[in-house]
Amino acid sequence: MSSVLQVTDDTFDELVLQAPGVVLVDLWAPWCGPCRQMEPVIEELSRELTGVTVAKLNTDDNPGATASLQITSIPTLLIYSRGELVKTLVGARPKAAIRDALQEYAAV
């Protein structure tokens, strides 16, 4: 069973910006090939990373958050620590690269 949170325009502040720890947000769209390629990696990370909340935001369904975050390319991975954006990864990345990026902010 997946432990990936589905974030929307309405829940982004509560689930990401007000989160007490580290949150990895995957911005994606159903038509995006590289996004679909990243899906199993994100699912695996959500099961493996106990100290990180993993969330997904569908950019097509949530234009408000997408615009306010100034997202111009997907997939984009955002890393938040205690509500503050600390790292942005644009494009499909291997799992090891995402783990390395998170390591600075959480015990992975």
Mean residue pLDDT across the chain: 94
pLDDT tens-digit series, residues 1-11 = 458 999 999 99
Domain positions in the chain are 5-92
Just list the catalytic residues.
32, 35
Q: Is the pLDDT of residue 25 over 80?
A: yes
User: Minimal CA–CA distance to 26: which of 90, 82, 70, 108?
Assistant: 90
Architecture of the structural domain at 5-92:
3-Layer(aba) Sandwich (3.40)
Position with higher pLDDT, 3 vs 79: 79
> pTM of whole model > 0.85?
yes
User: Minimal CA–CA distance to 102: which of 70, 68, 34, 54?
Assistant: 54
Rounded percentage of the chain residues whose pLDDT exceeds 70? 97
